[in-house]
Amino acid sequence: MTSFKQKLSAAQRIEVKRQMDIYRQGVQDIIPPEDLEEKIAKSLIEERPLKIKLGLDPSAPDVHLGHTVVLNKMRQFQDNGHVIQLLIGDFTGKIGDPTGKSVARKQLTDEEVKTNAQTYFEQFGKVLDMEKVELHYNSKWLSKLNFEEVIHLAGQITVARLLERDDFDERIAMSKPISLHEFFYPLMQGYDSVVLESDIELGGTDQHFNILMGRHFQERFEKEKQVAILMPLIEGLDGVEKMSKSKNNYIGIDESPNEMFGKAMSIPDELMIKYFELVTDLSPEAVEKVKTELESGKMHPRDAKMLLGKTIVRMYHSEEAGEKAEQHFVTVFREGAAPEEIPEQQWEGEQQTGILDLLTALDLLPSKSEARKMIQNNGVKMDGKRVTDPQLTVEIKDGMVVQVGKRKFVRVALKH
Amino acid sequence: MTSFKQKLSAAQRIEVKRQMDIYRQGVQDIIPPEDLEEKIAKSLIEERPLKIKLGLDPSAPDVHLGHTVVLNKMRQFQDNGHVIQLLIGDFTGKIGDPTGKSVARKQLTDEEVKTNAQTYFEQFGKVLDMEKVELHYNSKWLSKLNFEEVIHLAGQITVARLLERDDFDERIAMSKPISLHEFFYPLMQGYDSVVLESDIELGGTDQHFNILMGRHFQERFEKEKQVAILMPLIEGLDGVEKMSKSKNNYIGIDESPNEMFGKAMSIPDELMIKYFELVTDLSPEAVEKVKTELESGKMHPRDAKMLLGKTIVRMYHSEEAGEKAEQHFVTVFREGAAPEEIPEQQWEGEQQTGILDLLTALDLLPSKSEARKMIQNNGVKMDGKRVTDPQLTVEIKDGMVVQVGKRKFVRVALKH
């Protein structure tokens, strides 16, 4: 095999190194790095961009900072002229759960898939240049495979190899059933890369196995093998679990400036630098400076966290919004007062209302049981006074302020 | 569930028992027997025949006595008015080996599948009434499944259940690779029973797992579950391995009377009764009588074996052919003389021919290396004289008799 690296001019060699340095920032793993170098070299010599694939689950389109770890990396490729392939895994979404056991894995309609893809598209626009993004739906090719082709695909992989995947391995060890169709999800992901002829696939470290399937199947189908770039998973606000919607420990990129800022302030101190590195656009040098000043005590952790919050708000809203969110936070939480701008809600219900009904009607809590729990945890205040009795009947007054947790306020307005 | 057995008249109850007694003869296992009774009861009350499925591999259509163990059982069902479903697994045959590793598992063309099915049909006619047999090809439904339907099918079974199959289990234990597509063969066999709505599936004990797949999938697809009837596997002429073409230890049902008879005589004594029970049409009482007389010494094992040989020849040729084959055997082997009727072959080759070329040209041995081995084992005679030198050059003479092993003779005829 001739190596493209050997054909590079001196200037091109510098360019390859420049790109490699950028792509290496913050990654957990590049498998294998020498293939990535070779692909960059090839793209320079052949003057064609690389194809960078990202697979997306069409059923959960709420984008949070956890996703942006990967999106920021994709943006770097895009800035260097490479092409992003967003792959909506709609074929899987349309199947639902064939065992009929999981209610969660319900079948999506074509309409839902399109709507969810649109949601992704709008949110990703905050990080990527969406005009230069290719959008693909894998149902386009997967739904056309017949049984013979599926068997041919299945013939390219061994059962032992599939059982190496951590979660399968664990379930076998614990005698938890694995339905045979589950073996097909990594196969599909791998076959998508064959069809898309992807050069690189990006994902979190939890996608290690599935992304390597792409390399495997491309090789079996005599295509050039993609490089796996695995990004670290970022812990959520709890500092323990991976950030995810289901754990409710996330900062959504569509959230309001005050919500974002407040959530950023609740991150455990020890995660701050990781957040700076993975979810902000600060340069490695700027992050290094924060790190040094924190260690030397020159910077107070609270101030570092305020910088983090302001930066995140700036990225997804504006410079000004960042300043305002900081000001809001200082007013409410540092000075213990109610914020200047409390959203107002018109009250059209009964004058006498149970506290649980009130909290849910004002959308401050999603259910009565959640509202009861919040009261029991001392998290509900009315006009600054703590509510302790979940059975309380409230006499609604105009201008009354209801507060849930540290950051949610509503001013009740009565019809006149 | 209402039981059909409870609705039976006294006469019908006797009929169920009569059929059960017949079907139980010589079987290894009925899973479960109570379902078989219930199905017979149902067929009497609803006046509809049961559907008895037998799956056939389209790649190896040579039928031998090993197959007849199952065919004889099917004949009993046919005699009681039930319907035979012969299922040619042509879908599998058309796929070949998707890993490309096995030369043996080559793809069959439509033409080959049809020819092989025809071969089965002709041979089965010696046991079954082929006018009352349904012939099915599973490519009819399997080739139409799309990926979504395949995934739905795969969703009905767990990986653990598939790994229970003995050969998979062993291969995992020995770290021998199992290609994922292999998991689909039991699935297909199971799904065939769903489509055919089979009441009973017959097979050798080596089909235990696959036939139970039929029950499993019928249940998952909300069909009435089939009963598995497993017949013992019969050892071949070597007395050790299962009778099969690849082991060359079989008696083909298309073989000549003399070949059949001779092979029957070579069976180890201890297998004789099993052969009487499983591959002859003698009644259980007649077999019992042979058994008792053998044990008491009233009958010589050689005579019992001659009865076996004669019976097999009668079944697949005629009463007369059985008598003649016996006579032939006595003449050749007991009296040490050449048989009366030696097949003649016209010789059109060189007058001076190497012995190895001669043996292969006369089709007495398949290759020169086999011919050399046979000479080294003292298995080749010319005009009654043993040949010891594989390099021997033979002067071909008209009427010369060439003999290989105990039973193969050719008389060479020269052109005049």
For A300-337, the pLDDT digits (tens) are: 888 999 999 999 999 999 999 999 999 988 887 665 55
**Domains annotated on chain A, with CATH:** 5-231 (3.40.50.620), 257-334 (1.10.240.10), 344-414 (3.10.290.10)
Q: What is the 3-state secondary structure (H, E, C) of A355-370?
A: HHHHHHHCCCCCCHHH
Cβ–Cβ contact A178 with B under 8 A: yes
Question: How many of the other CB atoms lie within 10 Å of CB of A65?
Answer: 27
Locate all alpha helices (DSSP H) within A51-165, ordered by sequence: 65-79, 90-95, 110-124, 139-142, 147-154, 159-163
Tens digits of residue pLDDT in B330-384: 887 665 555 556 788 888 888 889 999 999 988 889 889 989 999 988 889 888 7
- Is the model's pLDDT at A175 over the cut of 90? no
User: Which residue of B150, B162, B191, B222 to mutate against A (max A Cβ within 10 Å)?
Assistant: B150
Token output for A360: 């849910």
Q: Per-residue pLDDT averaged across A250-264, rounded?
A: 92
Burial classification of residue A338, based on how many CB atoms lie within 10 Å of its CB (0-12 exposed, 13-18 middle, 19 or more buried):
middle
Cβ–Cβ contact A99 with B under 8 A: yes
Token output for A263: 């959530």
B290 CA: distance to closest CA in chain A (Å): 51
What is the per-residue pLDDT for B397? 86
What is the per-residue pLDDT for A169? 85
Beta carbons of B99 and A159 less than 8 Å apart: no
CA–CA separation, A40 and A199 (whole Å): 10
- ipTM of the prediction: 0.74
* Amino acid found at B196: L
Q: Which residue of A has its CA nearest to B156?
A: A99
Residues in chain B with CB shorter than 8 Å from the CB of A165 are: none
Beta carbons of B148 and A184 less than 8 Å apart: no
Sign, Cα dihedral of A25, A27, A230, A160 = positive
- Is the model's pLDDT at A76 over the cut of 90? yes
Binning pLDDT at 50, 70 and 90, where does residue A341 land?
low
Share above pLDDT 70 across residues of chain B, in percent, rounded to a whole number? 94
Binning pLDDT at 50, 70 and 90, where does residue A398 land?
confident
- Is the model's pLDDT at A261 over the cut of 70? yes
Binning pLDDT at 50, 70 and 90, where does residue B78 land?
very high
- Report which of residues A410 and A201 the model is more confident about: A201
Binning pLDDT at 50, 70 and 90, where does residue B292 land?
very high
What is the per-residue pLDDT for B120? 87
What is the per-residue pLDDT for A100? 62
| Residue positions forming the annotated binding site of B | 245
Beta carbons of A159 and B178 less than 8 Å apart: yes
What is the per-residue pLDDT for A69? 94
What is the per-residue pLDDT for B414? 83
* Amino acid found at A330: V
What is the per-residue pLDDT for B102? 60
CA–CA separation, A382 and A411 (whole Å): 10
Task: Confirm if A387 and A375 have CB atoms less than 8 A apart.
Answer: yes
- Is the model's pLDDT at B104 over the cut of 80? no
Best CA proximity match to A200, nearest among A319, A36, A350: A36
Tell me which residues of chain A, numbers 75 to 94, contact chain B at a CB-CB cutoff of 8 Å: 91, 94
- Report which of residues A339 and A384 the model is more confident about: A384
Cβ–Cβ contact B172 with A under 8 A: yes
CA–CA separation, A57 and B220 (whole Å): 29
Residues in chain B with CB shorter than 8 Å from the CB of A185 are: none
User: Which residue of A108, A147, A165 to mutate against B (max B Cβ within 10 Å)?
Assistant: A147
Token output for A318: 């504006």
Best CA proximity match to A226, nearest among A50, A375, A27, A25: A50
Residues in chain B with CB shorter than 8 Å from the CB of A147 are: 91, 142-146, 149-150
Binning pLDDT at 50, 70 and 90, where does residue A87 land?
very high
Radius of gyration, alpha carbons of chain B: 25
- Is the model's pLDDT at B95 over the cut of 80? no
Burial classification of residue A337, based on how many CB atoms lie within 10 Å of its CB (0-12 exposed, 13-18 middle, 19 or more buried):
exposed
Cα first-last separation, chain B: 81
Cβ–Cβ contact A173 with B under 8 A: no
Q: Per-residue pLDDT averaged across B230-257, rounded?
A: 89
What is the per-residue pLDDT for B398? 84
Best CA proximity match to A89, nearest among A141, A139, A135: A139
Average pLDDT, chain B: 89
Cα first-last separation, chain A: 82
Segment of A37-41, B25-29, B163-167, B357-361 carrying the highest mean pLDDT: A37-41
- Is the model's pLDDT at A103 over the cut of 60? no
| Residue positions forming the annotated binding site of B for ATP | 245
Q: Per-residue pLDDT averaged across A176-184, rounded?
A: 90
What is the per-residue pLDDT for A97? 65
Segment of A62-66, A143-147, B54-58, B374-378 carrying the highest mean pLDDT: A143-147
Q: Which of A154, A158, A182 sits opposite B184 (nearest CB)?
A: A154
Beta carbons of A183 and B159 less than 8 Å apart: yes
Cβ–Cβ contact A152 with B under 8 A: yes
Beta carbons of A152 and B184 less than 8 Å apart: no
Share above pLDDT 90 across residues of chain A, in percent, rounded to a whole number? 57
Task: Confirm if A211 and A27 have CB atoms less than 8 A apart.
Answer: no
- Is the model's pLDDT at A233 over the cut of 60? yes
Cβ–Cβ contact B181 with A under 8 A: yes
Cβ–Cβ contact B150 with A under 8 A: yes
Sign, Cα dihedral of A159, A161, A162, A163 = positive
Average pLDDT, chain A: 89
- Is the model's pLDDT at B314 over the cut of 80? yes
Beta carbons of B146 and A148 less than 8 Å apart: no
- Which residues is B227 bridged to in the sheet? B200
- Name the one residue in this structure whose structure tokens are 């004289």: B385
Binning pLDDT at 50, 70 and 90, where does residue A10 land?
very high
Tell me which of A106-120, B174-188, B307-321 is least confident.
A106-120
Q: Per-residue pLDDT averaged across A231-259, rounded?
A: 89
Cis peptide before A98 (omega within 30 of 0): no
User: Which residue of A143, A159, A178 to mutate against B (max B Cβ within 10 Å)?
Assistant: A159
Measured N-to-C along each axis, helices B272-279 and B65-79 cross at an angle, to the nearest 10 degrees, of 40
Q: Which of B94, B179, B183 sits opposite A180 (nearest CB)?
A: B183
Beta carbons of A147 and B91 less than 8 Å apart: yes
Q: Per-residue pLDDT averaged across A163-191, rounded?
A: 89
Best CA proximity match to A58, nearest among A104, A118, A100, A98: A118
Beta carbons of B177 and A184 less than 8 Å apart: no
What is the per-residue pLDDT for B337? 56
* Distances, alpha carbon A121 to alpha carbons A58, A118, A132, B33, in Å: 11, 5, 12, 61
What is the per-residue pLDDT for B122? 87
Residues in chain B with CB shorter than 8 Å from the CB of A159 are: 159, 163, 168, 172, 177-180, 182-183
CA angle B403, B409, B415 (to 5 degrees): 100
Beta carbons of A95 and B152 less than 8 Å apart: yes
Tens digits of residue pLDDT in B170-206: 888 888 888 999 999 999 999 999 999 999 999 999 8
Beta carbons of B177 and A157 less than 8 Å apart: no
- Is the model's pLDDT at B267 over the cut of 60? yes
Locate all alpha helices (DSSP H) within B155-246, ordered by sequence: 159-163, 166-173, 184-196, 208-220
What is the per-residue pLDDT for B85? 96
Element (H, E) at B71: helix B65-79
